[in-house]
Amino acid sequence: MNLCVLCAQRGNACCVNRDILVTSADQERIAAHVGESTFFEYRKPASPAYLDNDDDPNWNSMTVQVNGARLVLKRGMTKRCYFLTGRGCRLPAAVRPLICRLHPVEYTETGITGLSGECPIELLAPPTSLLENLGMSLDQAESWRSQLYEELRQDFKKREKVA
């Protein structure tokens, strides 16, 4: 079984009590799929630690607006992502925000840096690797990472023109 589904069933998925950043292009892809656009909001990071990105110096300028808010998916009363169900994300993989597609891959603007240690890999049946279980390759992750940063740069340029 997919590890993301197991985490969702256990109620401790990575998209619980977290802000899921979306690009404008993510927003458009999701809106086209679900037929509405009430799933996002602009919100300031709950934790000041979010703004400490020494390893990725352009991240904040590309994701945080002048007023300190970011474009994120809404969360429900249970602090779960708007699209999270007990069986995982209700969005098809090709529609999900790039941030979600990339998880648990860690990255910066310059490339992939590793895998997050937060996934409970002890639940995987040996010899299945985390990426195998998630149906992801590092090549695919690199493609999404590259797309994410291109979309972030486009959003940043749009904000600069307005300012």
Each residue's pLDDT tens digit, 47-62: 777 788 778 999 999 9
Whether the bond into 48 is cis, omega within 30 of 0 = no
Domain assignment present for residue 163? The answer is: no
Is the Cα dihedral 134, 137, 138, 139 positive or negative? Answer: negative
Beta bridge partners of 70: 43
Task: Give me the number of domains the chain comprises.
Answer: 1
Query: H-helix or E-strand containing 100?
Result: helix 98-102
Tell me the pLDDT band of 162, cut-offs 50, 70 and 90. Answer: confident
Structural domain range at position 22: 3-158
Q: Residue 163 above 70 pLDDT?
A: no
Q: What is the pLDDT of residues 105-141, one digit of tens each?
A: 999 999 999 999 999 999 898 899 999 999 999 999 9
Q: Residue 149 above 90 pLDDT?
A: yes
Helix (H, G, I), strand (E, B) or coil at 85: strand
Domain assignment present for residue 52? The answer is: yes
Domain assignment present for residue 73? The answer is: yes
The answer to whether the beta carbons of residues 17 and 7 sit under 8 Å apart is no
Residue 43 has phi, psi (to 5 degrees) of -145, 145
Distance from C-alpha of 106 to C-alpha of 89, rounded to nearest angstrom: 20
Domain assignment present for residue 110? The answer is: yes
Averaged pLDDT for residues 14-42: 95
